[in-house]
Amino acid sequence: MSERWFSVVLLLVVVTGMENPALAADRIAVTGSSTVAPLVAEIGKAFEAQNPEIRVDVQSGGSTRGIIDVRSGLADIGMISRSLSEDENDLIGFELARDGVGLILHLQNEVPALSRRQIVDIFTGKVTDWKDVGGRPGRITVVNKAEGRSTLELFLAYFDLGVRDIAAHVVIGDNQQGIKTVAANPGAIGYVSIGTAEFESGAGTPIRLLGLEGVEAAVENVKDGTYPLARPLTLVIRPAEKERLRGFIEFARSPEMHDIILGQFFVPSHP
């Protein structure tokens, strides 16, 4: 075999081996929504305990990354904090849990409530001082989610806004970045997963959730359906991988995982 021919064969072997790195029999690669990632990481640990021959790797990066990685074969499972859209019908979605999106303020901010109009005016830059919405005088810092995040898409759709309408001072990626930003700035306002915000608030982080449309932003109100800005948390796979991944998907959605889901301040989707 000539050196050139050997090099071509070696290149084909390397490329073929790299084409779908997620498809190892002893590894399940999961990427996507930063809201879903901590939950799936805990479920993954429980799954590994029962299946020690399989490793579950979880990485965040946003719902868009989850879709792209699954389609390209870079991940076995994508995590998205929404339902699949019409143009994603090449994939299969399995609802894992439900969550709400809530506005957060610094704990020192005493504004009792904001109307829908006031929220829109703040995020579009028409209102720039807290005194104009019933608070103490002070500059408002608008914290917005980066494009590609499902939380942003849900927020924009609910308030009938476009990406270009938002007058953001700070653009963040995951929920933790948003919470840290608001916790460090008494004049900031942002929006994150209610479950994550409740967990952080309970742990002493100086933030508080603001109600919406007269309904308290709380997991219990997501559970009973009264909170208006809620969403499904979904696991996404390629149809060809349904049988191979059935065990993990069924495990993640089983009643045995309810305590983990509730422990992450989400609402189980199945009894």
Q: What pLDDT is attached to residue 6?
A: 33
- The model carries a pTM of 0.76
Query: In the CATH hierarchy, which fold is given to the domain comprising 99-223?
Result: D-Maltodextrin-Binding Protein; domain 2 (3.40.190)
Look at residue 17 in the predicted model and tell me its pLDDT. 37
75-125 pLDDT per residue, tens: 999 999 999 999 999 999 999 999 999 999 999 999 999 999 999 999 999
Which tokens in the block code for residue 72? 């390209």
Angle at 54 between CA 49 and CA 55, to 5 degrees: 85
Question: For residue 148, what pLDDT band results from cuts at 50, 70 and 90?
Answer: confident
Cα separation, 187 vs 203, whole angstroms: 21
What pLDDT was estimated at residue 24?
A: 58
What confidence tens digit (pLDDT) does each residue in 56-80 have?
999 999 999 999 999 999 999 999 9
First and final CA of the chain: distance in angstroms?
62
In CATH terms, the superfamily for domain 3-98+232-268 is Periplasmic binding protein-like II (3.40.190.10)
Mean pLDDT, to the nearest integer, of 227-235? Answer: 95
Residue 92 near residue 234 (C-beta atoms within 8 A): no
Q: Give the Cα separation of 6 and 25 in Å (integer).
A: 28
Going from N- to C-terminal start, the domains of the chain cover: 3-98+232-268, 99-223
* Mean of per-residue pLDDT scores for the chain: 90
